[in-house]
Structure 1
Amino acid sequence: MIFANIEYLFLLLLLIPYIIWYVMQHRKSEPSLQVSTTRMYMKVPASWKVYLVHAPFFLRIVTFVMITLVLARPQTTDNWQNTEIEGIDIMLAVDVSTSMLAEDLKPNRIEAAKEVAAEFINGRPNDNIGLTIFAGEAFTQCPLTVDHGVLLNLFKNINCEMAQRGLIDDGTAIGMGLANAVSRLKESKAKSKVVILLTDGVNNRGDISPLTAAEIAKQFGIRVYTIGVGTNGTAPYPMPTYAGVQYVQMPVEIDESVLTQIAATTEGNYFRATSNSKLKEVYQEIDKLEKTKLNVKEFSKREEAYHVFALIAFVCILLEIILRNTVLKKIP
């Protein structure tokens, strides 16, 4: 509730001197009937009328407060917003080649990438997001959708087993992965279209080169952020053998030059993630760079709300008149 004429509320300060005056007058008042002693009335129970002596004073105060509130014009407000959301279309292109099982990130590269990307998806409820996975070949795991629950379920199930078992070719087809993501965005009507491509290797498969795919992305106005994931030097890699899993040190080879060129061609950025925390920082940085645009129109409707206060003031005045002319009537 708000007041259209809030300055009238200062009138309530007049109650302070009025209350002081009333208390002082009550103390000075003398009985109209004088008797020599009141000892014989000491044990007489007080009449219920005694408790109503100050009722008119209380009713006058309430009346004054209510009239002041009426003058201040209390109003109820009905606010609502008409929000126009301009979402961003984002395709995640994730490398699922067997090298993503290296454990320089914990528990390994692919699981670390899934965990951080899931947080990124949860933080962008207004965006269309899809998922492309690639190794030696690429395919769409989930097309663009705002149903992030479905996307996260599909995302949770991606792993490197397809490449391990030979269901898809192993290797790193960066160009194919990017081209697949671009094909899902080219028909998009969104003003901002983005591909986030994550890989840990060098392009060694596929019919489309990474830079050719970058040029295609540029033609469709798609910005590409590339992420090279993996520590520097070597990384522990679980190698299955007849004697069980044996860890070997695998050299980390990321074609940073190509990833940088892809990002530069499409006016994106290249990031290097050497640890879980660095990977999280990369996604946080991309999240800052690609913000959803909101156009908010606010409307306000006000209605007068003095009626209740005016009714209370009227009732108080009426009660005071009734009391003064009935049970509290004074005899001259």
Structure 2
Amino acid sequence: MKIFGVIFAAFQNLVFLPILVILIIFLIWRFLKTKNIINKLGCESNKSRKSFLFKNYSSKKNVIKLILLITAVIFIFVALLRPQFNIGDKKQEFVNQKGRDLFIAIDISRSMLAQDLKPNRLEFAKQKIKKLVSNLKAERVCLIIFSGASIVQCPLTSDYGAFFMFLDQLDVETISSGTTALDQPINQVLSVLNTQKNKKTKLLVIFTDGEDFSSNLAYVREQAVSNGLKIFTMGVGTVQGAPIPFINEMGEIQGHIKDDSGKVVISKLNEGILNILAAETGGQYFKLSESDNDLRGLISDVESFEKENFEDKKLPEMQDRYNYFLIVSLACIIVEWLL
């Protein structure tokens, strides 16, 4: 999640917001209660006794201590969200390179939580994508996520550090509850390519379990062929399949998804549709495995296509800055303690 130029890499920790609110309310309640008690004692005491009892009490000091504590807990909460940003005047750089544009689409539908690949299909696919990109040579890569719809998660770039950062943000919290539509990432890539009319090499790699509920895949496939888009499909899962875990808001498995009749849904790899999609668009189908033979075959195919010259926008590297927030929080706590 990006807000005001700051990326929060652990935005799922926003679930702790109610705890933050409760803690702030408690601090304010404690402050008001203490103030009320002191006021009552002050009214019941004579002037000399009041002066003796509250000689070290300062209303202004207590307000400052309250502000410091509230600031400390807020900054600790922000640190939990893992803010990432650049310090200094690091602007985007443009570099001229020669290579190929590779669009990588990853399925984030709920079936990708099935655990027939360890730890689950989504994480297994992410590791494969990292290996794929790490072994490419001067290629620009684009990350697209899809389920019933598709989104460009990371635009075309040769800055692999930035690409991996966006890839790492995909986790259980990102998973969509919708179904899979294979036509969506293809449409997304075709839309991008429409702005690049002179592009010769057009490559799309789709990581998915092949479960498809799109209504016009055949038409979109024809559009891909007519536009020269080569589609490589990477099968994620096994033909035997596995149940789809139901995961609550805390990321804990709470049983498995069931159909209307109460039976546990088994998600299986659909190799047939992936084979057809790849073959008819001039690409190739690979089934993901523990070995890297699948990636070696894909990389060999990608490198067989012609390279092109392009001016690439290099994204500034975003770094974790949560430590600054923890330092401010610690400083507030120390000052509050000393007052």
Partner of 1:173: 181
Q: What is the CA deviation profile of residues 304-331 of structure 1, one whole-angstrom value per residue up to 9, with x for unaligned ones?
A: xxxxxxxxxxxxxxxxxxxxxxxxxxxx
Return the match for 2:209 from 200, 212, 223: 200
User: Once the 2 structures are TM-superposed, how far is the Cα of residue 247 of structure 1 from its aligned partner?
Assistant: 5.4
- Identity among equivalent positions (%) equals 30
SS at match of 1:143: strand
Does 2:150 match 1:138?
yes
> In the aligned structure 2, how far is the partner of 1:247 from the partner of 1:171?
16
Distance of 2:187 and 2:115 partners within structure 1: 28
Q: Does 1:183 align with 2:191?
A: yes
Give the TM-score normalised by structure 2: 0.54
Cα distance, 1:241–1:161 mapped onto 2, change above 3 Å:
closer
Distance in 2 (alpha carbons) for counterparts of 1:294 and 1:211: 29
Distance 1:225 1:126 in 2: 19
Matched, 1:116 2:161: no
Listed as ranges, the matches of 1:223-234 within 5 Å are 223-234=230-241
Using the alignment, how far apart are the partners of 2:138 and 2:299 within structure 1? 13
Question: Aligned pair count?
Answer: 203
- The answer to whether 1:220 aligns with 2:227 is yes
Amino acid at match of 2:179: G
Matched residue, 2:30: none
* Range 221-230 or range 184-193, more displaced: 184-193
Question: Residue 176 of structure 1 contacts residue 209 of structure 1 at CA under 8 Å; is this kept in 2?
Answer: no
Contact 2:204 2:230 in 1 (8 A): yes
Q: 1:240 to 1:161 in 2, by over 3 A?
A: closer
Bigger radius of gyration, 1 or 2?
Answer: 1
What is the CA-CA distance between 1:282 and the residue it aligns to? 1.8
Per-residue CA shift, 1:237-277, capped at 9, x if unaligned? 3234799633576423344332222212211112223x433
Alignment deviations for residues 53-104 of structure 1 (CA, whole Å, 9 cap, x no partner): xxxxxxxxxxxxxxxxxxxxxxxxxxxxxxx964111100110001101111
Residue deviations 1:125-172, cap 9 Å, x none?
Answer: 4111101110111111111111221111101112342445x6xxx110
- Which residue does 2:100 correspond to in 1? 88
Aligned residue number for residue 40 of structure 1: none
Q: Give yes or no for the alignment of 1:209 onto 2:216.
A: yes
Q: Alignment RMSD, CA only? A: 2.8
CA distance in 1, matches of 2:248, 2:162: 36
Aligned: 1:265 with 2:277: no
- C-alpha distance in 2, partners of 1:221/1:201? 22
Contact between 1:126 and 1:146, CA under 8 Å: does it hold in 2? yes
Whether the aligned pair in 1 keeps the contact of 2:106 and 2:145 (CA below 8 Å) is yes
CA distance in 2 between counterparts of 1:260 and 1:231 reads 15
Contact 1:101 1:110 in 2 (8 A): yes
Deviation at 1:122, TM superposition (A): 1.5
Instruction: Determine the structure 2 residue equivalent to 1:276.
Output: 290
SS in 2 for 1:126: coil
Task: Give the one of 266, 271, 274 matched to 1:256.
Answer: 271
Per the TM alignment, residue 173 of structure 1 is displaced from its structure 2 partner at its CA by 0.9
The one-letter code sitting in structure 2 at the alignment partner of 1:286 is L
> For the Cα contact (< 8 Å) 2:193–2:199, is it kept in 1?
no
Query: Aligned partners of 1:85 and 1:138: how far apart in 2?
Result: 28
TM-score (norm 1): 0.55
Gaps in structure 1 of 5+ consecutive residues? 1-83, 296-332
3-state SS of the aligned residue for 1:121? helix
Structure richer in strand, relative to its length = 1
Q: Map residues 300-311 of structure 1 onto 2, 5 A cutoff.
A: none
C-alpha contact 1:125 1:146 (8 A) present in aligned 2: no
- 1:245 aligns to 2:254 (yes or no): yes
In the TM superposition, residue 200 of structure 1 has moved relative to its aligned partner by: 1.0
Q: Note the residue ranges of structure 2 that are not aligned, 5 or more in a row.
A: 1-95, 258-263, 309-339
Question: What one-letter code is carried by the residue in structure 2 that aligns with 1:191?
Answer: K
